[in-house]
Structure formats: structure tokens, C-alpha cells
């Protein structure tokens, strides 16, 4: 997996370990899954992460909902 993903920081913490460091494939398709780089938990889709990065803390619920879907 190393070298095939790009890391970024998400305002919302990983629900499992609290890390803010996420990884996504370098292709960065909107439907690519973003994973916590610490515990490899699915957190959200890349386009959902992009929404939060653009809109800030007001959209954190989007990530929480995505993480709770658990569609990994």
C-alpha cells in the first residue's frame, strides 16, 4: 500500500483512534475511500472529505455519518 496513497489532514478525527491523518489513493476519484493512516479504518469518501475541507467545521456531521456507514 505504501507509495500508492496521498495523505492529507482532515478537520474531523478518526472515530476509532482520534487521528486526523487520512490517506486516499493518488488517483483521488470522488468515490475513492479515505482511510485513517494510523488504524486503516474507513472514514469517508474522498469527495466527502473535500466537502469538509472546503466548508469547514460546519460539515463535520457528514464525516461522522460516513464513518458510521462503515461501507469498507
- Find cell 488504524 and name the residue: 39
Angle at the Cα of 50 from the Cα atoms of 22 and 33, rounded to 5 degrees: 50
Residues shown for the chain: 72
Give residues in contact with Zn ion (CB under 5 A). 14, 16-17, 19, 36, 38-39, 41
C-alpha cell read off for 57: 467545521
Nearer to Zn ion by C-beta: 25 or 38?
Answer: 38
Nearer to Zn ion by C-beta: 27 or 39?
Answer: 39
Task: Write down the least CB distance from residue 30 to Zn ion, Å.
Answer: 22
Task: Write down the least CB distance from residue 53 to Zn ion, Å.
Answer: 18
Amino acid at each position: 500500500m505504501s507509495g500508492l496513497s496521498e495523505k492529507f489532514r482532515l478537520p474531523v478525527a478518526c472515530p476509532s483512534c482520534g487521528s486526523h491523518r487520512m490517506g486516499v489513493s493518488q488517483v483521488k476519484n470522488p468515490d475513492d475511500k479515505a482511510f485513517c493512516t494510523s488504524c486503516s479504518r474507513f472514514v469517508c469518501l474522498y469527495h466527502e472529505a473535500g466537502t469538509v475541507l472546503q466548508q469547514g467545521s460546519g460539515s463535520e456531521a457528514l464525516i461522522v455519518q460516513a464513518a458510521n456507514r462503515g461501507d469498507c
